[in-house]
Amino acid sequence: MPGSGIGFAVLEVIVFALATALFIYSCWMKIKLLGQGQPEVIKRWDQIPKRIMLLVNEVIGHRKHFRDWYAGPMHLFIFYGFMILFLSIVNFFWEGLGITPEVWEKIRLGVIGKYVSGSALPFTEGFLWYHLLMDTFFVLVLVALGMAFFRRLILRPERMELTSEALLILTLISGVIITDVMIEGAKIVKEGAFPGAYFGQLMAIIWEKVGVKSEHDAEIAYAISWWLHAGILLGFLNYLPISKHTHILTAAPNVFMQSSEPKGAIPPIPNLEERESWGAHTIPELSWKALLDGLTCQECGRCQEQCPAYNTKKPLSPKKIHLDIKHLLSEEGLLPKDKERVPIISEKWTTPEEVWSCTTCRACMTECPVGNEHIPKIIEYRRYLTLMEGNIPGEAQLTLQNLEKNSNPWGVGFDQRGNWAEGLDVPVYADGAQAAFCYFVGRDVSFADS
């Protein structure tokens, strides 16, 4: 028990209920933030089997993470560690309530007490498989966290920034694991060894070394560890939706809802005839999926590392495109529809130079492990700049003028289109020639010098 008697059980229920309610409220507020975005123009819920396979590959299999030999296993251990330690969390909560078989008996539900003991889910606590699995994941997650700290603090890859928030998240995860081991160690001091609990056994030795030897000491050590664990776990849970690390919650749905359109397909402009504005230059003009992408960006910088524009020193980072959305969305929050919004295409956020530097090569989207879609946003920004502001780069302006005046982007006079046929004895319809077949010579061939 993390204290004693029914009072602590009630306190536990109140603390967990409040923390869970706060977590649900924060998530709901995030969903409302996303609701400010435009409806999606492409399908996000079709081809369910294909989407499930995406989840299996990208989330469960960590396929894209494994392109980086260091980050791949590191991320995998933390991810699976949390999945598996969920069992331990359920036991931890249950154990805190201290509902023993006698209590079940008292409330005339003794039959449940036979299967659900006072401290754990059936077939878990005291079973070899359970302790072996938990302790192994305690170790793997701690190793992965060590690697993560080492990478952020020592290796410092260019694609990642060292932020206090990232360090706080790593510290909180470490705290969750360490306090869980402390709980197991204190129980071992009190009740004796559990089969397979080798890491807990080590912790029990540490407890004994610091003077926790008697049953009473072990109970105090247990209670302290239990409440520390509860505090860090619930703090972590509630920090996630309000932090910039929301991807822990949103990555899986974001991967699931990736575009199923052919690669390179450009999203159409809905209601083209009736629209009064085109493209996007504020948060509510982006689609809800674009906003979800922003929230989901885990700031790993994989897209930036592969971006030819970034690598040739153009003023574009595909990572920043998403961070700008994430930060402006958090900064503005939920605003009434008629409230004037901060333009995201501006010197403070994403500049027109960044928008026009993209080659639309798609390397960023191929690399992103959470399914973010960079190009559709860049296209929306370009639509805004072109159709609303007439703001296009000089080269593009000339190209468009050439297309308009001469039907080719190079500015070759349109009257020279037929020059290629000179001296080739080609019958020309315009001269009244008759033929069974027509060979349409395309633009590039018609205007090419040769």
Residues 360 to 419: which contact ligand SF4 by CB under 6 A? 360-364, 367-368, 370, 372, 374-375
- Beta-carbon contacts of residue 201 (< 8 Å; ≥ 6 apart): 185, 188, 193
Using the rule CB under 6 A, which residue among 307, 329, 355, 412 binds ligand SF4?
307
Smallest gap from Cβ 338 to ligand SF4, in A, equals 31
Using the rule CB under 6 A, which residue among 1, 78, 177, 297 binds ligand SF4?
297
DSSP per-residue string spanning 190-229 = HH-PPTT-HHHHHHHHHHHHTT--SHHHHHHHHHHHHHHH
Nearer to ligand SF4, 184 or 299 (CB): 299
Smallest gap from Cβ 86 to ligand SF4, in A, equals 24
Query: For residues 81 and 192, what is the distance between their CA atoms, to the nearest angstrom?
Result: 25
Nearer to ligand SF4, 140 or 309 (CB): 309
Q: Count Cα atoms within 13 angstroms, Cβ side, for 295.
A: 33
Amino acid at 132: L
Smallest gap from Cβ 442 to ligand SF4, in A, equals 27
Return the ∠ at Cα 432 (arms to 426 and 437), rounded to 5°: 55
Count of residues that interact with ligand SF4, criterion CB under 6 A:
28
Residue 303 interacts with ligand SF4 (CB under 6 A): yes or no:
yes
Smallest gap from Cβ 315 to ligand SF4, in A, equals 12
Other CB atoms closer than 10 Å to residue 18's CB: what's the count? 12
Interface region with ligand SF4, contact rule CB under 6 A, candidates 50-58, 106-114, 213-221, 353-361: 353-361
Residues 319 to 348: which contact ligand SF4 by CB under 6 A? 319, 322
Residue 299 interacts with ligand SF4 (CB under 6 A): yes or no:
yes
Return the ∠ at Cα 341 (arms to 352 and 26), rounded to 5°: 110
Query: For residues 141 and 180, what is the distance between their CA atoms, to the nearest angstrom?
Result: 12
Query: For residues 32 and 131, what is the distance between their CA atoms, to the nearest angstrom?
Result: 41
Using the rule CB under 6 A, which residue among 309, 344, 355, 379 binds ligand SF4?
309
Instruction: Please give the structure tokens belonging to residue 346.
Output: 């501006």
Smallest gap from Cβ 318 to ligand SF4, in A, equals 4
- Tokens 């999926």 sit at which residue? 289
Query: For residues 5 and 3, what is the distance between their CA atoms, to the nearest angstrom?
Result: 7
Interface region with ligand SF4, contact rule CB under 6 A, candidates 29-37, 256-264, 318-326, 423-431: 318-326
Interface region with ligand SF4, contact rule CB under 6 A, candidates 71-79, 85-93, 306-314, 335-343: 306-314
Query: For residues 214 and 190, what is the distance between their CA atoms, to the nearest angstrom?
Result: 7
Nearer to ligand SF4, 119 or 287 (CB): 287
Query: For residues 198 and 209, what is the distance between their CA atoms, to the nearest angstrom?
Result: 17
Interface region with ligand SF4, contact rule CB under 6 A, candidates 113-121, 122-130, 198-206, 312-320: 312-320
Nearer to ligand SF4, 359 or 416 (CB): 359
**Residues 266 and 220 sit within 8 Å (Cβ to Cβ):** no
Query: Which residues here bind ligand SF4, judged by CB under 6 A?
Result: 297-303, 306-309, 316, 318-319, 322, 358-364, 367-368, 370, 372, 374-375
